[in-house]
Amino acid sequence: MKKIVSLLMAVSLCAFALAGCGGGSETASYNLDDIVATVEKANPVSNSRDVDDNFIQLDMLLDPENIEEYAGKVSSDQSNSALIVAIKAVEGKASAVEEELNAYKTSISTGGLYAEFADKEAMAADARIIAKGDYLVMVVANTEGADYTEIDTALDEALK
């Protein structure tokens, strides 16, 4: 009888131990530079410069209090729309960052720029904003022949 009770207790203990190891709801962790590099293969950024604090705060109007880290590239060519920004939001702030990215998308796609920048506005209107857990990626295709189908594939690859 003692053996049966001991065996049942051992099985119960194993079941509880395995239940604690379940995982399941944890969000994947991504390297932001790797995301940018993967997307840039499909969306080359000509005459690129790194996205910095000034670009995040003054151009994109993102609240730095909502951002844990970021990486990105933007074209320095005035007529080129290429932009890739990967962001890790502070836990619980991803939706606020997503709203700010959508506001930025609206501002660059309906800015009423001069006629010579109509291609840039058209690319911005189709910009991709992808959210996965605390991670967000915004991509505006370049005006030098980038294709959003290829960019979507690259985004899927980067955020597996």
For the stretch 88-137, pLDDT in tens is: 999 999 999 999 999 999 988 886 654 567 788 888 899 999 999 999 99
What pLDDT is stored for residue 25 in this prediction? 46
Q: Is 9 contained in some domain?
A: no
What pLDDT is stored for residue 5 in this prediction? 45
Q: Which residues share a beta bridge with 128?
A: 139
Q: Tell me, what amino acid is at 96?
A: A
Q: Is 86 contained in some domain?
A: yes
Q: What is the mean pLDDT of residues 27-52?
A: 94
Q: Is 120 contained in some domain?
A: yes
The chain-wide mean pLDDT, for the chain, equals 85
Q: Is 80 contained in some domain?
A: yes
Number of independent structural domains in the chain: 1
What pLDDT is stored for residue 73 in this prediction? 98
Q: Is 5 contained in some domain?
A: no
Domain interval for residue 154: 27-158
Which segments of 118-160 does DSSP mark as H helices, in order? 118-125, 148-158
d(CA 63, CA 12): 49
Q: Is 94 contained in some domain?
A: yes
Query: What token pair was written down for 122?
Result: 């058209």
At residue 20, does pLDDT exceed 70? no
At residue 21, does pLDDT exceed 70? no
Query: What token pair was written down for 132?
Result: 């996965």
Residue 15: helix, strand or coil by DSSP? Answer: helix
88 φ, ψ (degrees, to nearest 5): -105, 115
Q: Is 21 contained in some domain?
A: no
Query: What token pair was written down for 1?
Result: 């009888």
* Distance separating the N- and C-terminal Cα atoms of the chain: 51
What pLDDT is stored for residue 120 in this prediction? 83
Q: Is 75 contained in some domain?
A: yes
Beta-strand relationship, 135-140 and 48-50: unpaired
